[in-house]
Structure 1
C-alpha cells in the first residue's frame, strides 16, 4: 500500500549510539539504501568526519534517516561516502517525503545550520525509483554533476572489439583468477605503488581499513586477483550491493599491462555477474582538470560496455 498524504507532526533527532540497532534495521528494508549506510560502514572513518546523521519519527515509528556529517555549519550527506540522501520506506509517497523534508529543514535551521548538501544516490542503486528528495533539492542548486559508468545487464553487452580480442588472447595465456578475502598483496604490490606512480595519489581506504570493512561485510566486499605462474598481475576490489556490483578499486602491474591481464580480468568479472545482478558499476572518471574528467578513463570504461548515469550534488540554502 502506498501512503500518499501526511498529516502527522514529525520528530527529528540526531543519531546517537543508542539508535544503532533501529538505524541498521531500517536500512535493510528501505527502498534506497545499501550497506554503505550501515553504521558499521559509516563509522570506520569516524575520526575524519563529525557525524550529524538524522532520524525522522512519526510518533514512535521511524520514517526516514539521513546519513550525514557536519562541517562549518554545513550538513553533508555524506562527505565520507560515495553517495547519500534521504533513506525512506518503500511505501512512502511524495506527500510524506515532502513533509519529512520540511521537518528536516526546520530542524537544521533551528540548530544553526545554513546549508544542506546532498550527494545523490545514483539510480542504479535504487531498488525502486526514489527521486522525490532530488526534485525537492532541485529548488536549490546543483553544485556539480558526475558521470557514473555502469554496465546494464538488462541489455546485450557491448564490449569493444579490441577488448574482446585481448580477452581471446588472454585465454591462451594461462591466467589464473582467484576470488579472495585478503587484500595485502594487491594493496602493497599493485594498487598503492601504481596509484603513486601514475597519479601521485593513494587509495581512499588504507589496507587496515579495507581489511576491517571486509571483516564487517564479508558478503559485500572481496577481491579478484589475476595471476600468471603465481605472479600477481592485476586485481579488482568489489563492493557488492543488492543489485549492483562495483569495481571499487582496480589496478595492474607494468607486467600485467603489457599482456593485457587487466582487460582479461575485467571482462571475466563483468561476465560473472550478468545473470546475478542488474548492473556492474565502474564508478566515476572525475579528475581535477579543466574538463572535470579523465578522457582516457572515460574511453576505457565505455569500451568495457559502460553507459553513463548522472550523479548530482545538490546544495540547499536554509
Structure 2
C-alpha cells in the first residue's frame, strides 16, 4: 500500500510543497533550511507515497548505519498530510521501519515535533513509536506562553521594564545581524557558557535571506546603539526565541526585560504561543535554574519534547495492532 523513497534533489519542489501544506511541518523542514548544513550530514530523508500521492515525510540523516532526526534541526519526526489518520500512520511507520531494516539500518533516533508547532492534532507518530517499543532516551522542557491563557508577568520583570522605559529604550526589527552576533551574542555566550551559537553569522544571514518573513531580529536601542536582541523563528502557531542576548549591563538597564515585554505584550500578542525554548543541559538531565526562572517570570510554563530510539526490527510489533 505504501512505497518509501529516499529523498534526492529531484523531489525538492514537491517536498517543499508538502511541508507547506502539512499539519505539523514548519519552515525548518524546507529544503532551503535543511541544506544550509548539508556538508555536515549525510541526508537520508524519506518520502512516503500512497500510490502517486505523498502522505508523509521523514527528515533525517544517517550516521554509522543508524537514522537520526537531523542534528542540525530543533525538532524532527514524521511530517503528515492533514487527511492521514491514526491507522494509516501506524501502517506508515511499519513500512518505514521495514524498509530501513531491509537496508540494514538498525535503529532510528527521533526528536519529536513539540505539539505547539502542530496546526492540527498530530501525535499519531508518538503512539506508533510506543507500539513498537521505542525507548525514551531524553526529555527536554520548553518554556512556553499560551497567549489565550497568559499568566501575569512577575513584579521583578516589570521592574526591569520600568528601567528600560527610564532609559528611553526602543524595540525595533533590525537587519544588523553582524553587530548583534559579534558584539552581543558571541561575547555573552562565551563569557557565560563558554559556548558558541549553533549558527555562524554567515549561516544566519543566509537563512534570513531565504526566509525573510519567518526569521527576524528584534533589538533594543538607545542613543548608544544596540543594548540587547533576540532572533525569532516564526511559524504558523509559534514565535520561537532562537537566540536571546544582552550586554553585560542588561540587569542595570533592563534592556532584555524591556525587549521581551514589548514582544509578548505587543509584537506577538496575537501569536498562539511564544516559545522560549529549553533551559536544559546534559541531555535533559540538568535544568539551568536561573534561565528557567527568567522565562517563567514572564508567565511561561512547561511542555516537554521527547527523544526516542527504536529498533527497526520492531516493525513486526505493528502487525496485529488494528482489531
Tell me the TM-score normalised to structure 1 length.
0.94
Q: What aligned pairs does 1:25-40 form with structure 2 within 5 A after superposition?
A: 25-40=17-32
Is 1:96 aligned with 2:122?
Answer: no
- Among candidates 127, 132, 146, match of residue 124 of structure 2: 132
Aligned partner of 1:17 in structure 2 is 9
Aligned partner of 1:190 in structure 2 is 184
Which ranges of structure 2 fall in alignment gaps of 5 or more residues?
313-323
How far apart are 1:167 and its partner, in Å?
1.1
CA distance in 1, matches of 2:221, 2:245: 13
CA contact (8 A) 2:141 2:284 kept: no
How far apart are 1:316 and its partner, in Å?
0.7
Aligned partner of 2:321 in structure 1 is none
Q: SS in structure 2 opposite 1:179?
A: strand
How far apart are 1:182 and its partner, in Å?
3.1
1:190/1:74 CA distance change after superposition, 3 Å: same
Aligned partner of 1:63 in structure 2 is 55
263-272 vs 235-244, which moves further: 263-272
Deviations 1:111-159 (Å, cap 9, x if unpaired)? 1101011101001101111111111112211001000111101113321
CA contact (8 A) 1:182 1:211 kept: no
CA contact (8 A) 2:2 2:95 kept: yes
Aligned partner of 1:170 in structure 2 is 164
Deviations 1:157-206 (Å, cap 9, x if unpaired)? 32111111221232222112221133010000000011011111000000
Q: SS in structure 1 opposite 2:149?
A: coil
Tell me the TM-score normalised to structure 2 length.
0.93
Q: SS in structure 1 opposite 2:295?
A: helix
CA contact (8 A) 1:183 1:207 kept: yes
Aligned partner of 1:115 in structure 2 is 107
- Among candidates 173, 177, 202, match of residue 208 of structure 1: 202
CA distance in 1, matches of 2:126, 2:207: 29
- Among candidates 279, 295, 300, match of residue 273 of structure 2: 279
CA distance in 2, matches of 1:96, 1:290: 32
Which ranges of structure 1 fall in alignment gaps of 5 or more residues?
1-8
**Matched pairs, number:** 310
1:86/1:289 CA distance change after superposition, 3 Å: closer
1:307/1:290 CA distance change after superposition, 3 Å: closer
CA distance in 1, matches of 2:61, 2:241: 25
Aligned partner of 1:288 in structure 2 is 282
CA contact (8 A) 2:160 2:251 kept: no
CA distance in 2, matches of 1:290, 1:277: 27
Deviations 1:40-96 (Å, cap 9, x if unpaired)? 000000011110000011111111100001111110112110000111111111111
1:226/1:274 CA distance change after superposition, 3 Å: closer
243-252 vs 153-162, which moves further: 153-162
Q: SS in structure 2 opposite 1:163?
A: helix
CA contact (8 A) 2:239 2:271 kept: yes
Aligned partner of 1:6 in structure 2 is none
CA distance in 2, matches of 1:135, 1:97: 9
How far apart are 1:231 and its partner, in Å?
2.4
CA distance in 2, matches of 1:317, 1:229: 58
